[in-house]
């Protein structure tokens, strides 16, 4: 089965979301610059394991309307309770991957009564030097405006390929590059908001049961694992190999790790 698509109202316009399955609600928040197409390979797997899976397109990505001006992570956070309200759900588990983990963190802090458990898949407690490095690298996203020769599309393709050495699922890369290109001209908004957010300090305030989850081939694996120094009370799990597209690469292993923690 395919997820059911729907819209609800948010601060920036319409919020696009999908849901599939029955049972305990589990919200999935995607990385950027892509959309909830990131979870295509795990919708049914999670539903088969007894979860009502809910995906949300971040504002400006996929089918969701975006802000007219540069937002903060705090601005983005409202989309989660808005979707839960539309579905008549009082409380849910939530999982965020990379940018999605940042937005989900702020949603949990702003609306703690709406969430029961939290999976941080690729958290980002950056040092000052790391933040400066990522800001410089991600500045390329601002240059992905249309050019007559189409080189802006090739630039996005090469950027993603270079970030994922050894990953050869061209179909998955194509889907994500197209999703990022479709978010023009403001695809860079989300990463800019992430770089202005102190995820390390925010995670210190979390009061929910939490799993820090990573994979050894993710470019931010070591940074994500550093979260356990800040919050040794959190649980930790990891998958061998992969890249930041681990959900496309190893969907069964990814679901097994998530469900193993949630079920216990």
Buried b (16+ CB within 10 A) or exposed e, 131-151: beebeeebeebeebeeeeeee
Cross-sheet strand order for the sheet of 24-29: 4-10, 13-20, 51-56, 24-29, 92-97, 115-121, 210-215, 235-239
The pLDDT of 51-70, averaged and rounded, is 98
The pLDDT of 199-215, averaged and rounded, is 98
Question: For residue range 20-34, what is the model confidence (pLDDT) as tens digits?
Answer: 999 999 999 999 999
Taking a C-beta distance cutoff of 8 angstroms, is the pair 78, 11 a contact? yes
The pLDDT score that the predictor gives to residue 137 is 85
Distance of CA 28 to the CA centre of its chain: 7
- The Cα-based distances of 223 to 125, 211, 228 in angstroms read 6, 15, 10
Handedness of CA 145, 151, 157, 158 (dihedral sign): negative
Q: Which residues contact 227 (CB under 8 A, 6 or more apart)?
A: 120, 123, 125, 200, 203, 212, 234
The pLDDT score that the predictor gives to residue 164 is 77
- Please report the beta strands in 65-222, taking only residues with DSSP state E, as ranges in sequence order: 92-97, 115-121, 210-215
| Token code pair at residue 77 | 């956070």
- Reported as a pLDDT band with limits 50, 70 and 90, residue 143 is confident
The pLDDT score that the predictor gives to residue 167 is 67
State pTM to two decimals: 0.96
Whether the pLDDT of residue 236 is over 80: the answer is yes
The pLDDT of 33-40, averaged and rounded, is 96
Burial of residue 208, with CB atoms counted within 10 A of its CB: 0-12 exposed, 13-18 middle, 19 or more buried: middle
The pLDDT of 175-203, averaged and rounded, is 95
The pLDDT score that the predictor gives to residue 183 is 94
Determine how many CB atoms are found less than 10 A away from the CB of residue 112: 12
Residue 83 sits in a domain of what CATH number? 3.40.50.1820
Question: For residue range 73-125, what is the model confidence (pLDDT) as tens digits?
Answer: 999 999 999 999 999 999 999 999 999 999 999 999 999 999 999 999 999 99
Domain region containing 203? 4-262
Domains of the chain: total: 1
Whether the pLDDT of residue 159 is over 90: the answer is no
CA-wise closest residue to 96 among 241, 256, 210: 210
Taking a C-beta distance cutoff of 8 angstroms, is the pair 77, 106 a contact? yes
Give the rounded percent of residues in the chain with a pLDDT score beyond 70.
99
Mean pLDDT, the chain, whole residue set = 95
- Reported as a pLDDT band with limits 50, 70 and 90, residue 138 is confident
- The Cα-based distances of 10 to 14, 64, 191 in angstroms read 6, 9, 20
DSSP-derived secondary structure for 1-56: -PPEEEEEEETTEEEEEEEE-SSEEEEEE--TTS-GGGGTTTHHHHHHTTEEEEEE
The pLDDT of 135-157, averaged and rounded, is 90
Whether the pLDDT of residue 12 is over 80: the answer is yes
Q: What are phi and psi of 122, to 5 degrees?
A: 90, 55
Whether the pLDDT of residue 168 is over 80: the answer is no
């Amino acid at each position: 089965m395919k997820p059911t698509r729907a819209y609800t109202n948010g601060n920036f316009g319409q919020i696009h979301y999908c849901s599939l399955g029955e049972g305990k609600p589990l919200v999935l928040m995607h990385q950027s610059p892509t959309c909830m197409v990131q979870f295509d390979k795990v919708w049914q797997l999670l539903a088969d394991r007894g979860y009502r899976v809910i995906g949300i397109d971040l504002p400006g990505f996929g089918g969701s309307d975006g802000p007219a001006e540069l937002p903060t992570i705090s601005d983005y956070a409202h989309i989660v309770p808005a979707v839960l309200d539309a579905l008549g759900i009082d409380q849910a588990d939530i999982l965020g991957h990379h940018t999605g983990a940042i937005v989900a963190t702020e949603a949990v802090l702003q609306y703690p009564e709406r969430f029961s458990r939290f999976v941080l898949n690729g958290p980002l407690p950056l040092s000052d030097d790391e933040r400066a490095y990522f800001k410089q690298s991600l500045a390329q996203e601002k240059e992905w405006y249309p050019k007559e020769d189409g080189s802006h599309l090739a630039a996005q393709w090469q950027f993603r390929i270079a970030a994922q050495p050894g990953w050869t699922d061209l179909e998955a890369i194509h889907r994500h590059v197209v999703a990022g290109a479709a978010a023009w001209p403001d695809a860079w908004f989300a990463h800019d908001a992430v770089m202005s957010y102190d995820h390390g300090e925010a995670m210190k305030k979390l009061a929910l049961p939490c799993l820090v989850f990573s994979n050894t081939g993710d470019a931010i694996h070591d940074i994500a694992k550093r979260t356990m120094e800040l919050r040794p009370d959190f649980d930790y799990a990891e998958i061998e190999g992969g890249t930041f597209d681990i959900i496309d690469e190893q969907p069964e292993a990814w679901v097994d790790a998530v469900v193993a923690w949630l079920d216990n």
